Chain A
């Protein structure tokens, strides 16, 4: 189980797992132990911000993507949300459990709610563009403050 940085705003607590990297959009990237594949999913703030997930559609296994290409979309009761690949590569696995239980993304965003596994094609060069947990925490903090100002 990862450890977390936490931010509480009003009654909401947003967690950032400290064992992985992030895009500024709130997609997390966790390299698998063997180092050849990465698992990706939604950060806690992103899943809370978008609301209960009704459907999650990941691109089929074998799809080649450039960094920033759409690798999944989720439909919540609030919105349709396109999710962008954190790195270039090929979709190697999609989390089949989300077909029946998309709420896993909300209930356990860092573990059971993972979305896909990718085989990155340029990991060594692209990983440096990702954010560490503390840097993503700062981005998230700003987003939360903007949300509160927008009320």
Chain B
């Protein structure tokens, strides 16, 4: 199966309390709008949880990449609870630990380091998706 035939939904937590939440959102945009627009589709977590039919259908049909800003892992948890399959579960904090020079600041607007961190995260996920065999169930970490 090549990349163009695969299709993933991307669900960021978009948490509003910390810069990492904004990083999750930016990374989702980088992935879905620029890096892998043919094979990814962004889904709003709240719509999924509250039962919006379009969101539910997409998550039922396609494996998910979840991007969480903190270790509460709300997106991963809620996608699973909604019946979705998580193909990649990303914690922004883990990516930051590998790139500690990219310290994000700002919630309404990320600093340059935060935007770079989002880009790095999106790039790692994109490469991982290209190499992914779609799993039936389960998840692995970036």
Docked CA distance A102–B96 (Å): 13
| Any B CB within 8 A of the CB of A52 | yes
A54 to B97 alpha-carbon distance, docked (Å): 6
Give the CA-CA distance A102 to B20 in the complex, in Å. Answer: 16
CB distance from A56 to the nearest CB of B (A): 11
A23 on interface, CB distance cutoff 8 Å: no
Contacts of B110 in A (CB 8 A): none
A52 touches B97 (CB 8 A): no
Q: Count residues of B near A (Cβ-Cβ below 8 Å).
A: 11
Establish whether residues B18 and A54, one from each chain, have CB atoms under 8 Å apart when the complex forms: no
Nearest-neighbour CB distance to chain A for B25, whole angstroms, equals 16
Task: Check if B18 sits within 8 Å of A107, measured CB to CB.
Answer: no
Chain A residue nearest in CB terms to B71: A103
Decide if B35 is an interface residue (CB 8 Å cutoff).
no
A1 at the interface (CB under 8 A from B): no
Q: Is the interface of B mostly helix, strand, loop or mixed?
A: loop
Alpha-carbon distance between A5 and B104 when the two chains are bound, in angstroms: 34
CB distance from A138 to the nearest CB of B (A): 28
- Could you tell me the distance between the alpha carbons of A42 and B19 in the complex, rounded to whole angstroms? 23
Instruction: Tell me whether B139 is interfacial, beta carbon within 8 Å.
Output: no
* In the assembled complex, A60 has its CB within 8 A of some CB on chain B: no
Q: Any chain A CB within 8 A of the CB of B93?
A: yes
8 Å CB contact of B96 from A77, A106, A107: A77
The reply to whether A77 and B18 contact each other, CB–CB distance below 8 Å, is yes
Q: Chain A, 50-70, contact with B by CB distance < 8 Å: what is the 0/1 string? A: 011011000000000000000
Complex CA distance for A102 and B93, rounded to whole angstroms: 10
Residues of B within 8 A of A106 (CB): 71
* Interface bits B3-37 vs A (CB < 8 Å: 1, else 0): 00000000000000011100000000000000000
Q: Which residue of B lies closest to A107 (CB)?
A: B71
Could you say which residues of chain B place their CB within 8 Å of the CB of A75?
A: 100
B interface residue numbers (CB < 8 A to A): 18-20, 70-71, 93, 96-97, 100, 103-104
Please report A residues at the B interface, Cβ cutoff 8 Å. Answer: 51-52, 54-55, 75, 77, 102-103, 106-107
